[in-house]
Amino acid sequence: MRTDAVRGSSRWMEPLLLFAVAAGIFIADQTTKALVMTGIGLNERVRVVGDLVQLWHVRNSGAAFSLFQGGTLLFLVVTVLALGMIVYFHREFRGRSPWLQALLGVILGGTAGNLVDRIRFGYVTDFVSVGVGELRWPTFNIADSSIVIGIGVLVAYLLLTDRRRQELGT
């Protein structure tokens, strides 16, 4: 009976964790973008750590690294596919570590943050610029960071757990 109670609580705790983390990322992303849009002029730069880290208000109608400019419809389709993958992994990871659900929440929050921007404005507001002089990493935002870090950790997890399974012969 106790096992059933634990299983029952994890059924709602896992989605709750996923959505709570996603909501936190989404709120942080939308709040920082709004602050940049109201506080820094378009294409204006504000030095944070000398030339190394700057706030640089830019609009990105493309994908990461400003690829595929103006491809809003393409990005909406890719986002729907990404959301489908998050649902798939959420179901596949049921009963495993709650960290996996939190990790999916990080990806979901970032995906939702950029999706809302694309629907509302037709572009995404980017504002974190790292580099020296004109040698700079492409400008990004919290949603971008969440997606990239979340997917990177997820891929590493999947690769490591698959290797462990192969080593164990399962």
Asked if 130 and 137 touch (Cβ cutoff 8 Å), the reply is yes
Adjacency order of strands within the sheet including 135-136: 45-49, 53-60, 124-132, 135-136
Active-site entry in 4, 117, 144, 162: 144
Asked about 162 being catalytic, the answer comes back as no
Closest CA to 26 of 99, 153, 117: 117
Handedness of CA 27, 32, 38, 41 (dihedral sign): negative
Give the Cα-Cα-Cα angle 140, 15, 27 (nearest 5 degrees): 35
Asked about 51 being catalytic, the answer comes back as no
Active-site entry in 29, 51, 117, 126: 126
**CA–CA distance, 167 with 162 (Å, rounded to integer):** 9
Alpha helices for the chain (secondary structure H): 2-39, 72-92, 98-121, 142-168
* Size of the chain in residues: 170
The residues annotated with a catalytic role in the active site are 126, 144
